[in-house]
């Protein structure tokens, strides 16, 4: 079976699982329980509880505390796109005897190689051990008010847990029900089984990808030979 046929077969199998009647779908409640068996949701969830508690204690609510979350939500698909393209799809580069290749990029290549390997769906917990303190430092040092910084940190944690949940759900056996989620589901499956150079958003469909020209008609896109082995044919 050639790669084009393989990709189409994988998409058909996933869509059959989504819409078919033979396979018993995973209930949302079971998916939710499975989600919390992994360290990333606990690390981000703990940050969320701490940030929200501190935000309530500090008080000093102002209009900017309402505007900042709106801005963060609107910007998140573009942030997601940038991270996916430039961090997760980073091509290893060798400078002298040193290879520059981050943990996030390595784990993402493993995720493309086997999208059904559930632990690889999540942000690596070792990366969160420095990412979450970094966001906390930004919240405490980069804002004119402590309250606004804590609003930012709470928003980061909410978006983070939302991203992890959506990404996990897409790769689980949960059957999409709503039109919106079905579009998001298909968008990410195309990225994994059709062509890794398109469809970079995970929590939305047709947002940042449309603006940044990575949302083509799937029928016009050739299946990539490196969709499961990122950079395999590229030379540094």
pLDDT tens sequence across 89-117: 999 998 888 889 999 999 999 999 999 99
Nearest-10 Cα torsion for 47, 52, 55, 57: -110
Average pLDDT over residues 131-144: 98
Q: Which residues contact 34 (CB under 8 A, 6 or more apart)?
A: 118, 168, 172
CA distances from 31 to 110, 130, 162, 165 (A): 22, 28, 14, 9
pLDDT of 231 higher than 90: no
Integer-rounded Cα radius of gyration of the chain: 19
Residue 118 lies in domain: 29-176
Residue 119 lies in a domain: yes
pLDDT band at 25 (very low <50, low <70, confident <90, very high): confident
pLDDT of 236 higher than 60: no
117: three-class secondary structure by DSSP: coil
**% residues pLDDT > 70 (the chain):** 88
pLDDT band at 232 (very low <50, low <70, confident <90, very high): confident
Q: How far apart are CA 135 and CA 131, in angstroms?
A: 6
Residue 168 lies in a domain: yes
Give the number of other Cβ atoms within 10 Å of residue 148's Cβ.
21
Residue 89 lies in a domain: yes
Residue 12 lies in a domain: no
Please state which of the ranges 65-79, 97-111, 139-153 shows the lowest mean pLDDT. Answer: 97-111
CA distances from 40 to 25, 31, 170, 201 (A): 25, 15, 16, 20
What is the pTM assigned to this prediction?
0.88
Residue 184 lies in a domain: no
Residue 228 lies in a domain: no
Residue 225 lies in a domain: no
**Is 172 within 8 Å of 150 (Cβ atoms)?**
no
Helix (H) or strand (E) segment spanning residue 64: helix 63-83
Distance of CA 42 to the CA centre of its chain: 16
Distance of CA 219 to the CA centre of its chain: 24
Distance of CA 37 to the CA centre of its chain: 18
Average pLDDT over residues 182-209: 95
pLDDT of 233 higher than 70: no
Main-chain dihedrals φ then ψ at residue 100, nearest 5 degrees = -95, 110
**% residues pLDDT > 90 (the chain):** 81
Average pLDDT over residues 138-154: 98
Average pLDDT over residues 28-33: 94
Average pLDDT over residues 18-41: 81
pLDDT band at 82 (very low <50, low <70, confident <90, very high): very high
The predicted structure's pLDDT at residue 8: 59
Residue 13 lies in a domain: no
- Per the structure, the count of domains in the chain is 1
pLDDT band at 7 (very low <50, low <70, confident <90, very high): low
Q: How far apart are CA 48 and CA 32, in angstroms?
A: 18
pLDDT of 21 higher than 50: no
Helix (H) or strand (E) segment spanning residue 145: none
The predicted structure's pLDDT at residue 6: 60
CA distances from 46 to 59, 132, 200, 224 (A): 20, 10, 28, 39
Average pLDDT over residues 202-218: 96
Q: Which residues contact 67 (CB under 8 A, 6 or more apart)?
A: none
pLDDT of 235 higher than 90: no
| Average pLDDT of the residues of the chain | 91
The predicted structure's pLDDT at residue 15: 58
């Amino acid at each position: 079976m050639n790669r084009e046929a393989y990709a189409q077969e994988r998409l058909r199998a996933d869509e059959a699982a989504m819409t078919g009647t033979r396979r018993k779908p995973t209930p949302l409640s079971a998916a939710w329980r499975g989600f919390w068996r992994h360290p990333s949701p606990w690390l981000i969830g703990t940050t969320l509880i701490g940030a929200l508690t501190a935000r309530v204690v500090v008080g000093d609510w102002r209009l900017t505390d309402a505007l900042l979350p709106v801005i963060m939500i609107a910007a998140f698909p573009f942030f997601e796109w940038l991270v996916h393209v430039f961090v997760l799809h980073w091509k290893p580069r060798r400078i002298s005897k040193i290879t520059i290749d981050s943990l996030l990029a390595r784990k993402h290549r493993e995720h493309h190689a086997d999208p059904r390997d559930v632990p690889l769906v999540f942000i690596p917990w070792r990366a969160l051990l420095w990412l979450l303190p970094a966001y906390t430092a930004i919240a405490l040092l980069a804002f004119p008010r402590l309250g606004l910084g804590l609003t930012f940190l709470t928003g980061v944690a909410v978006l983070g847990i939302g991203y992890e949940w959506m990404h996990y759900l897409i790769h689980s056996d949960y059957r999409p029900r709503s039109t919106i989620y079905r579009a998001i589901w298909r968008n990410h499956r195309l990225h994994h089984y059709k062509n890794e150079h398109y469809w970079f958003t995970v929590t939305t469909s047709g947002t940042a990808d449309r603006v940044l020209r990575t949302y083509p008609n799937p029928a016009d896109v050739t299946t990539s030979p490196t969709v499961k082995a990122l950079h395999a044919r590229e030379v540094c």
